[in-house]
Structure 1
Amino acid sequence: MHRVIEPRVLYFGTPVVLISTCNEDGSANLAPMSSAFWVGHSGMLGLDETSQTTHNLRRSRQCVLNLADPALVSSVDRLALLTGSRTVPSHKRAKGYRHEADKFAAAGLTPAPSDKVDPPRVAECLIQLEATVNRIHAFGEPDSGVVAVDVQVVRVHVEENLLMPGTDRYIDPDKWDPLVMKFLEFYGGGHNLHPSRLAKGWGAPVLTRTLPQP
């Protein structure tokens, strides 16, 4: 029997993306997000309008979308409640966010130069998408505090071991296992992988975990 509910979030399972952008002083910002989809070589990103990432995208019109895999779950989680904004918005402060200037160092990740945009790539990510911003507009209900960012992918970097043998255009779906956020929890290969600081910040119930077997 179906039941009518009002869920806190509708994160049914989307890939985790680490978005790198450039701050006004030229330093790099890095932020995790999981509200993204792609059609062709265009992408749509859902972001908090107060985030440092959104501010950077409005100004510079450039980013790199670094797709995380399950091996990076602890690094992603370390970024979950950090913000590059020196003034932490009240709605984020209530969830436990704090300011962090060097997100790459906080996550234990390595910046790598990009080819066509200024923000660095995340060296540890197996797939990196350099992109430029087409447009930014309000998203959702009035006063949602969320924006939709339409981006154009201008260069794709892929770890060569993910490619199908004999091709330079096709990624083997059996070799690529994205890190997925499902209802504020981290999943890979169908398993819950790691306790989520974001879930704790949102006050989600504690998950009874079935961790993958070694």
Structure 2
Amino acid sequence: MHVVPGLKVLYFGTPVVLISTRNEDGTANLAPMSSAWWLGQTCMLGMGNSSRTTENLLREGECVLNLPSAALADAVDRIALTTGRPVVSPTRAAQGYRYEPDKFALAGFTEQPADLVRAPRVAQCPIQLEARLVSAQPFGVPEPVATAFQLEVLRAHVEESLVLPGTRHVDPVGWDPLIMKFCEFFGGGENLRPSRLAAGWQMPHPALQA
């Protein structure tokens, strides 16, 4: 039997993407997000308008889309409630966000130079996609609160062990992406760890409802 609960959040599950961009002063910013989908060599991202990443993408026109494996859940969670904006809005502060100028260091990640864009790659991520901005459109109803970014993937860097020998394809069995479902971290179908983001957004967790 189906019910009609009037869902508050439509966040059924997508891979986590760590977007690295350049700040105006040339330093690196890193933001985890999971509103992304892919078609051919194009990626669509949905980012809130208040984020430093949105600001950087609109100004710089390029980024790196780093795809973490499930094994990196702890590192990703360390930067989940951080922002690259020095002034934290009251709404975000109430959710637990704080300003962090060096998210690479906080997560324990290493900056790795990209080939075609100025933003750095995340060395620990098995898949890294250098990309340029194609277009940006306001997104959301009744008032746009986000931006939909269309990005062209210029170059893909893939851990050699994940490439099927003799092909240009990723091994779907060997690749275990970090998945976010309703603000919770999953990998291999299992809930990996408590999520700071879920706590900040006051998302209910089944284990807490028993």
Superposition TM-score tier, normalisation by shorter sequence: over 0.9
Q: Which residue of 2 aligns with 1:212?
A: none
Amino acid at match of 1:181: M
Deviation string 1:120-157 (CA, Å, 9 cap, x unpaired) is 00000000000000111111213241111111100100
| CA–CA distance in structure 2, aligned partners of residues 207 and 81 of structure 1 | 22
Q: Which residue of 1 aligns with 2:32?
A: 32
Amino acid at match of 2:151: V
Q: Which residue of 2 aligns with 1:69?
A: 69
| CA–CA distance in structure 1, aligned partners of residues 98 and 206 of structure 2 | 24
1:93-132 mapped onto 2 (5 Å cutoff)? 93-132=93-132
TM-score of the aligned structures, taking structure 1 as reference length:
0.94
Q: Which residue of 2 aligns with 1:44?
A: 44
| CA–CA distance in structure 1, aligned partners of residues 71 and 206 of structure 2 | 21
Measured at CA, do residues 156 and 107 of structure 1 come closer, stay the same or move farther in structure 2, by a change above 3 Å?
same
1:177 paired with 2:195, answer no
Question: Over the residues paired in the alignment, what is the CA RMSD in angstroms?
Answer: 1.1
1:81 paired with 2:81, answer yes
Number of aligned positions between the proteins: 208
TM-score of the aligned structures, taking structure 2 as reference length:
0.96
| CA–CA distance in structure 2, aligned partners of residues 138 and 111 of structure 1 | 31
Displacement after TM superposition at 1:166 (Å): 2.1
| CA–CA distance in structure 2, aligned partners of residues 88 and 136 of structure 1 | 24
Q: Which residue of 1 aligns with 2:134?
A: 134
Deviation string 1:61-88 (CA, Å, 9 cap, x unpaired) is 0100000111100011011100000111
Deviation string 1:1-38 (CA, Å, 9 cap, x unpaired) is 21111222111110000000000000000000000001
Structure 2 unaligned segments of length 5 or more: list them: none
Deviation string 1:175-197 (CA, Å, 9 cap, x unpaired) is 11110000110000000001000
Kindly, what percent of the aligned residue pairs are identical?
57
Amino acid at match of 2:58: R
Amino acid at match of 2:113: P
SS of the counterpart of 2:54? helix
| CA–CA distance in structure 2, aligned partners of residues 5 and 71 of structure 1 | 34
1:189 paired with 2:188, answer yes
